[in-house]
Every structure is written in C-alpha cells, then in structure tokens.
Structure 1
C-alpha cells in the first residue's frame, strides 16, 4: 500500500478520534501538516507483553496500520511473555534514540531503569495497559489503560447471576506481577465476597499461557466433579479452557467468562460458548499511545501540562443478546442487541 495522501490520512485519524468522542481540531491538522513537511518519518519503538497473546498481536497490527497512515516508522520489541526477555528487549530499545516510545510492561517495576534512561534523554514514554511503576516513581508522558477492576466486576457479576449466586467458581489468573491481572483479581473478589454461597475453589495463575491453561484445567476437571463457573483474566485462556472442558463433555456444566473482547471471544459469546467478556480495547490503547507520542514529538506536548497522567480506554461488557421481545428496544440494555456485532466491525477497522 502506498503512502496515503493528506486528506485520507486526516479522514482516518478524525474517524478514530471521533470514536473516542474527540474532535480533531486545529492542533491535529497542524500536527499532520508538520509531519508532511518533515525530512524524515518519526521513529517510534513499541513493546507489549508478548505477541503470543492475541490482544498484543492485535495491538501490533493496529500500530503498524496507524503508523502507515500517520507516517511513523514503527520498531517492535516483543516481550515474549517473559519478564527477563522483555527487560533485555527494552534495554536494547533504550540504547537507541526515538521520537517516542510506548510500552506495556509484563510486570510492574521490571523496566524502570531502561525507561528512566529514555526519559532522561528526553524521549516521551507512553505506558500502555499496565503500569510501568507505581505513581511518581518515573515521569512517563502518560498512561493509557482500561479499568481492569470494572471489567472484572462486570464479567464476574454476569457469571454469578448465571449460576444463581451459589456454587463453585474458579478464577484462572494471568501473570501475578501484571497490574492488569491484579486489578482483574480485585474486581473478581469485589463481587464474589458479596455471595456467601459462592466458593472459590481455585485461583491459580496461568501466566497468559494457553498451554499452562490446558494442563491446569485438565487437573481441575479431574479434581472437582462440580465446577459451576470460571472467570479467566483473558479470552485466550478462557477459550483454551473451553476446549479442554468440551473434550471432557462438561461444556454445559460450567459457565465461562473472560476479558479483552477479542473477535473469537465475542463470537463465542454470540454462539453461546462463553457467557461474557469485556472489551479491553487493544486498538484504542495502542493507537492512542501512537497519537499521544505523535503529539508529543510534533507539538512538544508536556506531561502533566498538555496531557493528563492517565487516559481511560473504556470498553463495554459483551453479553449474549437479549431474548426479550419489545417494541421499545431503547429500554433494554444494549438495545436488546448488545455490543458484540458492532464491536466486531470496529475491531476489524482498528477503531476499538
């Protein structure tokens, strides 16, 4: 694909910003025109937890497409779902010069030294999805993330409602050092603690690894004859467990929910294989980081002055369509249709 002309580039950015309720005004137009007149493209480095995870892979696809539209040269440093490997990758990143960088850390605090090295060189650093460090430890440009506690509460509540507020429930966690996983665990407990007849029978981590999930769930199915529901910290793990559960012939016994709202999981909700998921918008977080870095590089926006320290990338809970029939669909949640079909279209176009 050739380099898009200014009018198409402007249209794509304006469309995506509009999806966040942001009007692309004079500052945006000034930035695009400035980029058009540069003698070289902007150079940006990105790293997320690991491209084995479909959420991370979708983020990379989004950044590369938006980078093409915006004229930003993207360099990717894969975290490989391994704290030590991501640290080595970001150490290598910090040895070079960039117009801006954006990082999703696999574990809080694991990247502080190389990130600080880049900040000291004047490179804007955008944190994505998970915290690089506790507030105040580093002066990152901004932090773009979902509300992990809220997402987990919505999915867990849907599961608890589906089993009538009583029974055995499992939580399969992500990486314990990942702030998103910690928030999702908190949201889960916020709900289940209100139900004395709910028993949490396992809360083992599987580190976002579908192979670990398969082994864990084979063991759980052998150990427990009654499992009523299960909450997973991401959709990849939920779908991996679903296949194990189905192979055991118990798919009609256990209600499942995940997080991320990835297309296969959204379709699984529509097909009745998963009961719920919630959209952690990989697209909005990744292209949001790209646009924030773009503004920082071109307009010299300053953290804490021109851009806030935190930007919420919210997303909906995805539940099955309502079975209720009415001539007033506006009185039903999600107009009786739900977020699923529209979200699939938005994800296809790197918008949500």
Structure 2
C-alpha cells in the first residue's frame, strides 16, 4: 500500500513538472508571438528628401532586427495626405504610430484620432502641436541652430550681413533651428540678418529664393539654411554669380558633406537621421510591450567642417 502511495506521489510530481514546463514553454511562445506581431505605422513627411530616406531606412533596419512589421507611408509634404495616411494606418490596426509631421499644427488632428482609437503616438524629428504623444525622438534643433550661428559668427569675425533660408512654416524643426540661430546672432554688433525667407526645406525652392535675394542684396557674408537641401540650392545660386559667400546647412546629407569637403559649403550640422529612425522603432517596441519610456530621446549633433 505504501509502495503504491509512493508511486502515485512520484507520478504526480513528474506530471506536474512536465505540465509546468509545457505551460512555461507555451507562455514563452505566446510572448514571442506577441513580439513578432507588433505592427508599427510610420508616417513620413516626405521621401523626396535624403534625410527622411535615411530616417526610414534606419527604422526599417530596427524593425527587421526586432522582428516587427513596419508600415511606411509617404505624405509627400501634403498635410491632407498625411492625415489620410494616418487614418489608413489606424484602420490597419497598427499597435503604435510613429509620425514625422509635415506640419506640426496640422498633424494634431491625426494624433487626436489615434488617441481616440487608443493607439500610442511617438513623434519623430518634428513635434506635434496638439494631441497626446508618449515620446518624441529628435535632435536638439535649437542647439543645432545655435551651433550654426556660432560657427558663422566665428568665420565672418563678427561682422557682415547674413541670410536665413527657413524651412516649412509651421514645422517645429524650422521654428527651433531658427530660434537657436537667432539666439546666437541677434544683438551682436556688426552682424545683421538682412533676409529671412522660407524655402520649404526644398532644393529647387532654395535656389529660387536665394537667386532673388542675391539680386536685391549686394553685400552678403553668409547664409544659414535650415536644411542641406536648401543650402545646396543656395550654393548653386551663389556659384552662378561667382560671389564668395559662406553657406551653412543642417542634416549632413551625402551631397552636403561632399560640398563641405570641396569647400563649396562652410559646414553642416549632422543630425544622424538613421539613428533617429532606429531609436524611434526601439522606443515603439517598448511602448507596445507596456514598458515605461522617457518623454524625449535626444540624438546627438555634430558640426561637420572641412
């Protein structure tokens, strides 16, 4: 009788261990399955800009490494299209949204729509002026603008007229880069910003705007462009006049870095867009898993000179 009782106890214990192991394995498999099934939506302002192409590629690499699905939509710098893109991603039941706004104010409607659908939103490179955002991934654009302004002051030895080519009005990147730049140069004796005009982060627009400024202003020492695309347009306009004007951009795209090495541009501020995209996906995965995240993840900047 004792032997039978002992055998029954052993059998029960063994069965319990097997069941326990099977249950743990099932839980691990389910957890892995949940990780693999995380669906991230990425709405990019435009893929007609090398900076945002690099950002997208960084996000794609991080998503592949994490085993998550990434759905990318190109807003083509069209606010209405971006709102439709975000609504489409909401309908596709994404677990989390990464939004790089074409316009910080206009995107608020899309963020609020995601909020109502209980889909967390992370903004990338540019902020949203409305709605609830769990985190923001970007460079410190104010600091970058100040770095550009300080470099220009040093190169012109604190004297001369400066032109500012602004980004898309309404974007946080344009606002913050301009803010940092003016913190550096405003109020400095001998220095004047003689023109501040938007060129919408676009090379062709930068060329046209700079051509018009060159026709109306004879004495220009330097140009600060809120991104490298506008800076390259400015370089092209200046080249045709054969004038010697310092140009500083922002983003450190391949074309701009080459221009700096050739001496066509004085400097560019390196933002590391691929790292921004990568960090955005990594933070998104944490949010999707219910982990706590910080409100702001800064990606470091670097001044690139010859």
TM-score range, shorter chain: 0.7 to 0.9
Which whole-Å CA distance do the structure 2 matches of 1:73 and 1:62 have between them? 14
Aligned residue for 2:62? Answer: 66
* 1:242 alignment partner, SS class: helix
Q: Tell which deviates more after alignment, 196-205 or 38-47.
A: 38-47
- Per the alignment, do residues 100 and 214 of structure 1 end up closer, same or farther by CA in structure 2, a change over 3 Å counting? same
The answer to whether residue 109 in structure 2 is matched with residue 118 in structure 1 is: no
Aligned residue for 1:7? Answer: none
Which whole-Å CA distance do the structure 2 matches of 1:81 and 1:115 have between them? 17
Structure 1 segments of 4 or more deviating over 6 A? Answer: 32-35
- Residue number among 86, 110, 120 corresponding to 2:82 in the alignment: 86
Which whole-Å CA distance do the structure 1 matches of 2:29 and 2:212 have between them? 58
The Cα of 1:265 is off from its aligned counterpart by 1.6
* RMSD, matched Cα: 2.0
The Cα of 1:35 is off from its aligned counterpart by 7.0
Contact 1:50–1:79 (CA under 8 A) maintained in structure 2: yes
1:123-162 counterparts in 2 under 5 A?
A: 123-133=119-129, 137-162=130-155
Aligned residue for 2:165? Answer: 172
Contact 1:35–1:71 (CA under 8 A) maintained in structure 2: no
The Cα of 1:280 is off from its aligned counterpart by 1.8
The Cα of 1:40 is off from its aligned counterpart by 5.0
TM-score, normalized by length of structure 1?
0.74
The Cα of 1:286 is off from its aligned counterpart by 1.1
- Residue number among 230, 240, 247 corresponding to 1:237 in the alignment: 230
The Cα of 1:38 is off from its aligned counterpart by 4.4
Which whole-Å CA distance do the structure 2 matches of 1:144 and 1:292 have between them? 9
- Residue number among 281, 303, 310 corresponding to 2:296 in the alignment: 310
The Cα of 1:314 is off from its aligned counterpart by 1.7
The Cα of 1:226 is off from its aligned counterpart by 1.8
Which whole-Å CA distance do the structure 1 matches of 2:108 and 2:147 have between them? 32
Structure (1 or 2) with the larger CA radius of gyration = 2
Gaps of 5+ in 2: 1-27
Deviation string for 1:140-192 (max 9, x for gaps)?
A: 22111111111011111111211111111100000110011101111111111
- Per the alignment, do residues 61 and 114 of structure 1 end up closer, same or farther by CA in structure 2, a change over 3 Å counting? same
Aligned residue for 1:255? Answer: 246
- Per the alignment, do residues 203 and 67 of structure 1 end up closer, same or farther by CA in structure 2, a change over 3 Å counting? same
Aligned residue for 1:42? Answer: 38
* 1:85 alignment partner, SS class: helix
Which whole-Å CA distance do the structure 1 matches of 2:29 and 2:157 have between them? 57
* 1:259 alignment partner, SS class: strand
Contact 2:205–2:233 (CA under 8 A) maintained in structure 1: no
The Cα of 1:34 is off from its aligned counterpart by 7.5
Aligned residue for 1:335? Answer: none
Gaps of 5+ in 1: 1-31, 321-352
- Residue number among 290, 293, 297 corresponding to 1:300 in the alignment: 290
* 1:201 alignment partner, SS class: strand
TM-score, normalized by length of structure 2?
0.85
Aligned residue for 1:52? Answer: 48
Corresponding residue pairs, total: 279
Contact 1:94–1:114 (CA under 8 A) maintained in structure 2: no
